[in-house]
Each structure stands twice: as C-alpha cells, then as structure tokens.
Amino acid sequence: MDELNFRRRIYADPNDSASDINKACQEDKQLAKFRADMQDFDKQIAAAMEVTPPENLSERILLGQTIDFQRKQKQKHRVHLAIAASVAFIVGIVFQMNGVSPRYDNLSDHALAHMISEVDHIPGTATYTREQLNSKLVHFGGEMANDVAPIKFANFCDFNGTTSLHLVFQGENGDVTVFVVPSDSGLKASDRFSDMQYHGQTVETQKASMVIITDKKQSVNNWTEKLNKAIKWQKA
C-alpha cells in the first residue's frame, strides 16, 4: 500500500485495523507512528466533547429561541395591536365605566390587545402538558400542582417589551387566557376589567402579576379560584 492511500484511510478512520493497514504498519515504523498519533488525537477529540451540559440548558435554549421568534414577529403583531387599539378606542366609554383607561401603560388593556392579536396563533387542540407549563412557569416563581383544564398553549411571549408567559386553557365555554407578567414590567395593574366581549381579573404574586381573561359566558371568578388553588407561588 502506498503512503498516500494509507494516510487517507487513517485520516478517515484512525482505528482502521484492516489487514493491509496492519501489514503496512508492520513494514513501516513511520506509518505505524502516524496511525498511533492519529488514534491519540481522536481520543483527545472524544474527551473534549464529553462535556456535562449546564443545568436547564434545554430551557435556556428554548427561552432564547422563543424570545428571538417573538421579536421577529413584532412587526407583524404591530398591525394586530393597532387594530386592537382602534377597537379599544371605539369602546372607550365602556372602559371608563369599568374604571379602565384605554392606554397601553395599563396591564389589563395590554393583555386584552395582546390576546386579540395572538388569537389566530393558538392551536385548535390541547396538546401541552402540565410538565411543559411548569418548565416555563418556574421562571416566574410558580408551579402548577394540579391540572385545572386541558392546555392549548404555554409559551413565553414579548409583553410590551417584557418577557412574560402566555397560557391558554380549554374551558367548557371557550378558551381561557392567562398572562404571567413580571412585576417590574412598568404596567399598572387593575383588579378587574372588561370590554364588550371579555372580562378579566389580575392576581398579584411575589414576582409577577397573573392576568386571567375569559369570555363573558364564563365566570372569571371561578377560574381565578381554580388557578389560585392549583398554582403554588414562591414566598419572599
């Protein structure tokens, strides 16, 4: 076997032990040394790749990918938010009667607009698990200990520039939307709010505000009670 062919095969597989390779090594010490050096180098590469991944690596990657996706979609969402803002302006009198100002520095107004802008992106079937929900809810100091309803959506979202959690449950009379927004979002919270179709309630926790929105066919109070019993929040 010529030296060039020998080296090509060893580059491709340092552990090639075919008879012609072994014979070449027996006849030429330099070729034998070359194979031994390549085998050592191959072992060093394998050792370098055996690195223990950091804790929660998959969740960190998912968080980064989700935030990146949300920011890429921001331009598209602006159109939906503009439509929602127009609707909010038209029903401004209704907002004022319920003590809610139609401005986006208000947590409830932004939650309604965000829900409307995302409604077309919510899956039609509930395929998310409680484990998937909790892997994200833990970032806000919460854990859902018991199932309350089938979960149609559970993912991070860009909530007025703040990374938040967007949840959608499958209720008996329609979807129930829940936003978990960090307390430092800069948005003012309203205990109760409503528009012509939806009503909602905000629950304050140690690290975040939980905004619950349902169609008026459903009782937001019942859902608030269910979620308060099911979710355990970290204490300060």
Q: State the sign of the Cα–Cα–Cα–Cα dihedral 119, 108, 179, 71.
A: positive
**How far apart, in Å, are the Cα atoms of 137 and each of 104, 144, 227?**
24, 8, 13
Contacts of 159 (CB under 8 A, 6+ apart): 110, 114, 166, 179, 181, 185
- What tokens appear for 92 in the block? 């401004």
How confident is the model over 32-43, as a mean pLDDT?
84
What's the rounded Cα separation, in Å, for the pair 113 and 11? 60
Beta strands at 198-204 and 208-215: parallel, antiparallel or unpaired: antiparallel
pLDDT averaged over the chain? 82
**Which DSSP symbol is given to 54?**
P
Beta strands at 231-233 and 174-182: parallel, antiparallel or unpaired: unpaired
Which secondary structure element, helix H or strand E, spans residue 93, and what is its range?
Answer: helix 92-97
Beta strands at 192-194 and 162-171: parallel, antiparallel or unpaired: unpaired
Global pTM?
0.57
Model pLDDT, residue 57: 64
Nearest to 135 by CA among 159, 165, 158, 163: 165
**Could you give the angle at the alpha carbon of 207 between the alpha carbons of 201 and 211, nearest 5°?**
15
What's the rounded Cα separation, in Å, for the pair 55 and 103? 40
How confident is the model over 88-104, as a mean pLDDT?
48
How confident is the model over 142-153, as a mean pLDDT?
94
- What tokens appear for 187 in the block? 């948005």
Determine phi and psi for 147, rounding to 5 degrees. -70, 140
- What tokens appear for 112 in the block? 């309604």
| pLDDT of 101 over the 50 cut | no
pLDDT in tens, 185-234: 888 888 899 888 999 999 998 889 999 999 998 999 999 999 999 999 98
- What tokens appear for 203 in the block? 């629950």
Which secondary structure element, helix H or strand E, spans residue 71, and what is its range?
Answer: helix 57-72
| Cβ atoms of 210 and 166 closer than 8 Å | no
What's the rounded Cα separation, in Å, for the pair 190 and 95? 12
- What tokens appear for 111 in the block? 């939650």
